[in-house]
Amino acid sequence: MSFLTRQHRCWPLMGLLWILAALLPVPLHAAAGEQEETHGNEHGEAPDHRGFYVGSNRNWFFISFLPESDQAETLGIELESYIDTRKYSIKNISYLEVADYPRPIPGQPPGNIFPGIEVKTGISDLLMGFWVSKKGKAHGKHHLAWGGATQLPTASADSLGTGKWSLGPSLDYEYEAGRWFAGVIALNLWSVAGDSDRESVNYFMAKPFAYYSINDKWDAVYVPYGISVYWNKSSGEKIYFPVGGGFQRHLGKKVNVSLQFFKNVLRPSKGTEYDLRFMLEFVF
């Protein structure tokens, strides 16, 4: 079966999932305080726990439209977890992709701006971020946590990973007021070890997010793949900058789905031009 044939079969499935999401009922009789608590948890705020626990799991299915009219399919798996002590909370987000590309794509998966020439279907490098915040401290509308990030060379092929072990600083900023919940996760990674035949890693990524609550059922959302700068590349090949957005549907308190569309107004010459992103989130 050809790649394009497989791709065309995905459209009816995505359309069916979105229609079901729109039609499924959401309870409207919950108390206001209960709604606010749910709103906070689904966007990554940690409830009062001790020890290790999982906050949410987000599964991204997205289609990348390339300049040559090719299309690439990716399943991104994201797990948000916490380790809580009496005084501190450590937040972790781990992200891994399963990719099916018609050709190597610069900067995709994240960090892989020198993908080589082979074409493979498989898993990407594992990207993880950790942020530490003090518990019981009043943050008001703003919350900032500092931490670090790492990328491990777990990719199943050179075209899907960097071949390097990378480390760097990171921050997690969140803002919440009224109907708005927004913020950004930012990091910069440098390679510290790995395959000597592969190019060194030096890249910056900012993952902004913005949710505007329309009503109890729907949010307007902007959660892109990320703004990326690859410092080792020549001018005109360094940056991905996506513009777009979409809508999120709440299926009760524990499940969310969203559909978004983005255009990379800045991108490498052979990079992704458009992204269509479907997300299924489970809140624990």
Residue 108 gets which letter from DSSP? B
Pick 49 or 41 by higher pLDDT: 49
- Does pLDDT of 14 surpass 60? no
Is the pLDDT score of 58 beyond 90? yes
Residues 6+ apart with CB under 8 A from 271: 66, 105, 106, 107, 108, 240, 264
Return the structure tokens found at 28.
């409207």
Q: Hey, where are the domains in the chain? A: 3-283
Model confidence at 49, pLDDT cuts 50, 70, 90, reads: low
Among 149, 155, 55, 50, smallest CA distance to 101 is for: 155
* 3-283 fold: Porin (2.40.160)
- pTM of the shown model: 0.80
Task: Give yes or no for residue 265 having a pLDDT over 90.
Answer: yes
For CA atoms 253, 139, 48, 146, the dihedral sign is positive
Calculate mean pLDDT across residues 76-80: 94
Locate 1 and state its tokens.
């079966």
Task: Count Cβ atoms within 10 A of the Cβ of residue 269 and give its class: 0-12 exposed, 13-18 middle, 19 or more buried.
Answer: exposed
Are 134 and 144 spatial neighbours (Cβ–Cβ below 8 Å)? no
Phi, psi angle pair for 272, to nearest 5°: -65, 135
Among 3-17, 161-175, 214-228, where is mean pLDDT lowest?
3-17
Cis geometry, peptide bond prior to residue 109 (ω within 30 degrees of 0): yes
